[in-house]
Structure 1
Amino acid sequence: MALIVQKFGGTSVGTVDKIKAIAEKVQKFRSAGHQIVVVVSAMSGETNRLVALADEMQARPDAAEYDTIVSTGEQVTMALLSMALKERGCDARSFTGWQLGMHTDHSHAKARIKRIDETPIRTALDAGQVAVVAGFQGITDDNRISTLGRGGSDTTAVAIAAALKADECQIYTDVDGVYTTDPRVVDSARRMETITFEEMLELASLGSKVLQIRSVEFAGKYKVPLRVLHAFEDGPGTLITVEDHNQMESPVISGIAFNRDEAKVTLLGVPDVPGVAAAILAPVGDANIEVDMVVQNVGENNTTDFTFTVHKNDYERAMELLESVRVSLNARELRGDNAICKVSVVGVGMRSHAGVASTMFKTLASESINIQMISTSEIKISVVIEEKYLELATRALHSAFDLAAV
């Protein structure tokens, strides 16, 4: 008998009929003798509807009340799935985040999990019930509902799997695994049988929408076997696991990721003195705006140019903050560009193979695509380019690194 945590996303539970189909799938696992915890998202479109309601009330909704509103979508799904299971003779018990004891910090809409009280779920499982959990949500120490950010149900599932030491955490989506790139952009994209936690973490952080980055962090940290599967089609999916050093024929590059949600901010002519980077980025960080790529040019005439990227949703706010910084630093000019994107190549094979960067740059040059910024790590290379070239760049790189399905 295995203990399995299963997570079903919004499209998988988008209608009553789909929820009934999910109940049948869960029941089969339970009938086979497994202990099952199911984590569910809100029905597709529901969170957007709730966000729109909040936006109608306040231009910038109160953070705590915002979380209270948007958390209700998952509660509807968990109750409906529990009903569907009971209708099929499969005993089930639903849990909100606070009933479960999913304790988080106070960063509303971006809360981080501090601890999980596994007792309520253990009690339900020991009683032979399927535990159905509302994903995406938790409770702060002062008893306010919190949410984990978009895609937070993935994190809920992996965190529960880690706490319970589950045999496997299965993430059911509308795709049948992790692909070398988005098959909607590249027809020849190939589903991978396995991928390392490290590679998946990079892909998730660089724009792959299959899994939320924090869920992969959790899985890698606690070595939770993680499998991505299609909700309504049979198949092995993709297993995300530790690096297998015995795979001698592993490809140098595993996948191509891209992110359209990038914007670039540049301060020109800032003083080239110690502490200028901190002076620029401190107010941005204080506003809870995440900075991605950073480039500071070589100083000339005691000044330099400083460029960084942020999420496109934070672009206008970042520009507002940086205008004040420009004045205080007596910088020459503030420029912004929200028509950019980031394209990245990822692979653990880069550690032992040279030439990946040159292949990437030559490929983009052959398509007359100009590189604006470059960022590297041990297993990835990312470039910022004009957004209009995103699909062309992705297809060209996918072909150059021979990632097509065979």
Structure 2
Amino acid sequence: MALIVQKYGGTSVGNPERIKNVAKRVAKFHAQGHKMVIVLSAMSGETNRLIALAKEVSSAPSPRELDVVISTGEQVTIGLLCMALQELGINARSYTGGQVRILTDDAFTKARILDIDGDNIRRDLDAGSVVVVAGFQGVDEAGNITTLGRGGSDTTGVALAAAIKADECQIYTDVDGVYTTDPRVVPEARKLDTITFEEMLEMASLGSKVLQIRSVEFAGKYKVKLRVLSSFQEEGEGTLITVEEDKNMEQPIISGIAFNRDEAKITVLGVPDKPGIAYQILGPVAEANVDVDMIIQNVGHDGTTDFSFTVNRPDYDKTLGILESVKTHTGAREVRGDRTMAKVSIVGVGMRSHPGVASRMFRTLAEEGINIQMISTSEIKISVAIDEKYLELAVRVLHRAFGLDQAAA
């Protein structure tokens, strides 16, 4: 029998009835002789409620105290699931991140896991208990409660699976697998039976909300067998995320289309065209913990150049403020911004062996009158920044252009 880690998201444990349903599902696996570790998120909407409470008390809550508050959501669900399992006659024991000792760094609200002590979990599993662990949280060296950032329960599940050498990590969500794109935008989107870690990592980083990017990184690094399933369906194989593509099968050129609505573009005009100018602009942005995505530096004229990049929209105002102060000592003429951007990306390991993918993408968008403002590429993806109002049109026409509407042969 297998050692299985199952992670259930907020919608899966959104009310007592759903928690009881999760307990019944876990009970079936347990009855088959599997050793079970369950990782839970807070109830749907609970983390937002706790953040709102904190902001009613303080306009700028201390990150340490904010973590103390928002970590309580998962503590509620793990206790309730253990009660539901015990009602079914199953021994179950709950652990907070600190009780397991999921050791993290001290970057409050977005901590990273450094180590996991699996001894308590193994002892309880050997005794026949189901172990239920709070996702999204850990403790630093000083014993402070930390949280892992949005979607952090996925990372907890995969990290635990790696630490205890689980046979499979199953991520249960409100969708039944990974799709070629968001079915809410393209109803013809197909569920993928398999996708590589490499492709899933790109999809997650480019806007796909099925899995948190750090959980995919963890799974790929430690070769954790990862499967995405629906907690609202009794049957189904979901989507298996594999180490590498099946060499015996013809790989489709494109596996999926990801998109992100929350993009903003900032352009610094008339900066001196000299070595080090990119660092002078982006260094202060990085120090403010703002992630920069696409970057373009234009060809210089008359000793100056224009420098453009994109950031997540929530970081837009902060970044503009930073660059206004940078403008003076860099000698830039002006800083401009546009917060109405979106990013559309095509992803697929098949790009490596199929030329002409970029030209097909660009031609498809041009035929719809969609202007590309910025381009970014890697070996297995092409991303473009476009006006947000064209986002859904772009996703639909690209999905059709690359044959993703049709069932795989």
TM-score calculated relative to the size of structure 2: 0.98
Return the letter of the residue paired with 1:300: H
Match of 2:388 in 1: 387
Measure, in 2, the Cα distance between the counterparts of 1:296 and 1:57: 44
- 5 Å matches for 1:7-406? 7-233=7-233, 234-406=235-407
Aligned AA (1:252): I
Aligned-partner SS, 1:169? strand
- For residues 292-340 of structure 1, give each alpha carbon's deviation from its aligned partner in whole angstroms, at most 9, with x where no partner exists: 1111111111111111111111111111101000122121110111100
Unaligned runs of 5+ in 1: none
Counterpart AA for 2:388: E
Q: Secondary structure of the equivalent of 1:36?
A: strand
Deviates more, 1:277-286 or 1:239-248: 239-248
Q: Deviations over 1:9-59 (max 9, x none)?
A: 000000100000000000110110000000000000100100101111222
1:320 partner SS: helix
SS at match of 2:366: helix
Which secondary structure state, in structure 2, belongs to the residue aligned with residue 270 of structure 1? Answer: strand
The residue type equivalent to 1:170 in the other structure is Q
145-154 vs 322-331, which deviates more?
A: 322-331
User: Do the aligned residues in 1 keep the contact of 2:195 with 2:245 (CA within 8 Å)?
Assistant: no
Aligned residues: 406
Distance 2:61 2:338 in 1: 27
User: What secondary structure sits across from 1:182 in the alignment?
Assistant: coil
SS in structure 2 at match of 1:172: strand
Asked if the contact 2:245–2:251 (Cα under 8 Å) also holds between the matched residues in 1, the reply is: no
SS in 2 for 1:159: helix
How far the C-alpha of 1:245 sits from its partner, in A, is 4.2
Structure 2 distance, partners of 1:9, 1:98, is 20
Deviations 1:197-245 (A, max 9, x none): 0000000000000000000000001110100000020101000011134
Please give the alpha-carbon distance, in whole angstroms, between the structure 2 residues aligned to 1:360 and 1:152. 33
Post-superposition offset of 1:146: 0.6
Equivalent position amino acid for 2:285 in 1: V
What are structure 2's unaligned runs of at least 5 residues? none
Q: TM-score, normalised by structure 1?
A: 0.99
Q: Deviations over 1:47-86 (max 9, x none)?
A: 0100101111222211111111111101100000011000
Distance in 2 between residues matched to 1:172 and 1:298, nearest whole Å: 48
Q: What is the distance in 2 between the residues matched to 1:136 and 1:197?
A: 22
Looking at structure 2, the residues matched to 243 and 352 of structure 1 have their Cα atoms a distance apart, in angstroms, of 15
Q: The residue matched to 2:141 in structure 1 has which SS? A: coil
User: Helix, strand or coil: the match of 1:180?
Assistant: coil
Following superposition, the deviation at residue 246 of structure 1 comes to: 2.1
SS of residue in 1 equivalent to 2:247:
coil
2:11 aligned with 1:3, yes or no?
Answer: no
Kept in 1: contact 2:118–2:164 (CA 8 A)? yes
1:273, 1:245 → 2: CA distance?
A: 47
1:262 CA drift (Å) = 1.0
Identical positions, percent: 67
The offset of 1:248, in angstroms, is 2.9
Equivalent pair of 2:110/2:147 in contact (CA under 8 Å): yes
Distance 1:341 1:300 in 2: 29
SS in 2 for 1:336: strand
8 Å Cα contact 2:202-2:347 kept in structure 1: yes
Amino acid at match of 1:377: S
